[in-house]
Amino acid sequence: MFTIIGLMLTGMLLGYLLRKRNLSKIHKVITVLIWVLLFILGIEVGGNEQIIKGLHTIGLEAVILTIGGTLGSVIAAWTLWRALYKRKGGQA
């Protein structure tokens, strides 16, 4: 847990120190890294026999929680994007 917090704080410090530089390609790099992490997560889940054997027991509740969590995240991100974009004077 301390490793995760340390990495997050290090990223925040680097972001603060590099805030005046033109990092226009960073969004593409972040997107690619997220896709790679999701792919690796899929490999890990697919390689775990216990998870694969228990897929049929997940149930409706897990599906509802997954869909609800995803929709909630999308709505929150969209709302935040609109709020921040309007603050800069642009049109969303």
The pLDDT of residue 24: 85
Rounded Cα distance between 81 and 91, Å, is: 11
In a domain, 31, yes or no: yes
pLDDT digits (tens, 9 = 90+) for 69-92: 999 999 999 999 998 887 766 655
Report the number of distinct structural domains present in the chain: 2
Rounded Cα distance between 46 and 53, Å, is: 10
User: Are 52 and 72 found together in one domain?
Assistant: no
In a domain, 15, yes or no: no
Provide the domain limits for residue 46.
23-57
In a domain, 86, yes or no: yes
Rounded Cα distance between 52 and 45, Å, is: 8
In a domain, 30, yes or no: yes
Joined tokens for residue 90: 């642009």
The pLDDT of residue 3: 95
Per DSSP, the residues of 53-84 read HTGGGSHHHHHHHHHHHHHHHHHHHHHHHHHH
Task: With beta carbons less than 8 A apart as the criterion, state whether 69 and 75 touch.
Answer: no
User: Are 38 and 67 found together in one domain?
Assistant: no
User: Are 32 and 52 found together in one domain?
Assistant: yes
Task: With beta carbons less than 8 A apart as the criterion, state whether 52 and 46 touch.
Answer: yes
Rounded Cα distance between 5 and 9, Å, is: 6
Rounded to the nearest integer, the mean pLDDT of the chain is 88
pLDDT digits (tens, 9 = 90+) for 55-64: 777 777 788 9
